[in-house]
Chains A and B, each alone.
Chain A
Amino acid sequence: MNAPVNLEDHEALAFSLPLDKIDPSRPELFRDDTVHPYFRRLRRDAPVHYTAESEYGPFWSVTKYKDIMTVEVNHKAFSSSSQFGGITIRDRAKELELPMFIAMDPPKHDIQRQAVQPIVAPGNLAKMEGIIRERVCTILDGLPRGEEFNWVDKVSIELTVQMLATLFDFPQEDRRLLSHWSDCATALPMPGGLIENEEQREAKFREMAAYFINLWNQRVNAEPAPDLISMMAHAPATRNMPPREFMGNLVLLIVGGNDTTRNSISGGVWFFSQNPGEYAKLKANPALVDSAVPEIIRYQTPLSHMRRTAVADFELNGQKIREGDKVIMWYLSGNRDEEAIEEPERFIIDRARPRQHLSFGFGIHRCVGNRLAEMQLKILWEEILKRDLKIEVLGPPQRVMSPFVHGITHLPVKLAA
């Protein structure tokens, strides 16, 4: 069960604690949705802030939009490499290092990314649109009426795993393995949790790799096809990956295509339920779906942060970051930065520049699948509007206990009978 939540207490605490006692990485702050006051305090009083002690060791928090952008574009000073700890706040033991192209620096990052990115090129996206719409229609038309169900399971997960199975040309009947492995990859180990320790996580990764090796062996001996496995099996940059790197890139593509879109789908339903005026606007003018989608992605911010490791000394907004320091770019905070976004605390679906948000990251590691994610959300909302589905949200979302995946595990809803 969730601990008692009192946002006002957190508000008071966030603004009264000495700055050096503030640790915005505590997982329960994300589970309880109480982290925002701490970020507000840091943006106001210490935009580049050092936490000396935390569950994840010492780290810098970068909380303002423009400072995050500075870190993003200075990839020579701020490394993503898994050899320094990769892209999340939580370090992995050296022997568990998991190379994947998001956790590499140029030039290797560039050539591996280039091997898979044609999957989301404009021509390919156009081809996928029809398939996605068909599936959205099937999912929406099959939802129960007049009874409570979990939107996350029946819609958000279902739609994203079907899509991911298509991208990999992975057997659709086994598609829920993809969301299971994705959840295992990002779960915080805890007693009674999805995984209890790193050995269990490693066992899941081995299970995943064994499944995919079969697909790889089929594809490598066949003509190149437009799916992610075939593309990696045939591209010079990826066809001879060592086993650990194969595993790492699978994790990247599975988590990247899963968690993020899933949580924006769930978030959107919650935001519209809390902002009926915005939903009325959308209903009156369905063309607003184009700007509503990026606003949902900003407001949800499906990954709370990305991490870098300084590989050179760097002065950032007056603070001296030293070589070797862990640097956390809090997208969740930058997306609520009042100096970059007008009225950032509000969910407004007709913003003038809705795509100026940090959820996809910027610079060379910017999300490869961003336009595919937007397309899935757009089609979903278009079809919801077409059917005039009345989604009654029956209670607040249950959230993931993690400072990385900013996710929703349960959203109880009911559709009018």
Chain B
Amino acid sequence: MPKVTYIEHNGTEHAVEVPVGLSVMRGAVDNNVPGIDADCGGECACATCHVFVDPAWEARTGTPSEQEASMLSFAATKQDNSRLSCQIEMTAALDGLVVRMPEAQH
């Protein structure tokens, strides 16, 4: 099963196996990884599963949709590599993905 490393804002790392087809958000929530709130449950309707994709992985995780981009534009700590983790679907090609969490989810 492909693995994702979630790094909390304080530096704590969590390496978690996430089944293909699930979202990166779901991988965190199902494994009680702190730092991802996911208030809307994966509908791309809030911005509380915000992550920063490690630059080495940006090309493979793709670019945000229009809806995702507008939700991200309201995230306080948005950067160029910001994504909503509910919109990144796990594939075999993402084995080893590294994402970092912002200071807080809004």
Contacts and interface: CB of A to CB of B under 8 A. Distances in A.
Interface in B32-57: 37, 39-41, 43-46, 48
A379 B67 CA distance: 34
A255 B67 CA distance: 27
Interface string A112-137: 01100110111101000000000000
A73 B67 contact: yes
Given A362-B46, A371-B104, A122 B39 contact: no
Contact of B37 (A72, A125, A355, A364): A355
Interface in B15-72: 37, 39-41, 43-46, 48, 67, 70-71
Nearest to A69: B43
B41 A106 contact: no
B71 to A, nearest CB: 7
Contacts of A110: 70, 73-74
A362 B37 CA distance: 14
B1 interface: no
A364 B74 contact: yes
A57 interface: no
Interface in A326-350: none
B106 interface: yes
Contacts, number: 56
Contacts of B40: 69, 356, 362
B106 A371 contact: yes
A353 B30 CA distance: 11
Interface in A351-391: 353, 355-356, 360, 362-364, 366, 368, 370-371
Nearest to A371: B106
A117 B74 contact: yes
B100 to A, nearest CB: 15
Interface in A34-85: 69, 72-73
B49 to A, nearest CB: 11
Nearest to A369: B106
B45 A366 contact: yes
B74 A114 contact: yes
A114 B74 CA distance: 7
Contacts of A368: 74
Contact of A122 (B45, B70, B103): B103
Q: For the complex of A and B, list the 7 residue pairs with the smallest distance between their C-beta atoms, beginning with the closest.
A: A362-B45, A121-B76, A122-B104, A355-B39, A122-B103, A363-B45, A73-B45
Interface of A: 69, 72-73, 106, 110, 113-114, 117-118, 120-123, 125, 353, 355-356, 360, 362-364, 366, 368, 370-371
Interface of B: 37, 39-41, 43-46, 48, 67, 70-71, 73-74, 76-77, 102-104, 106
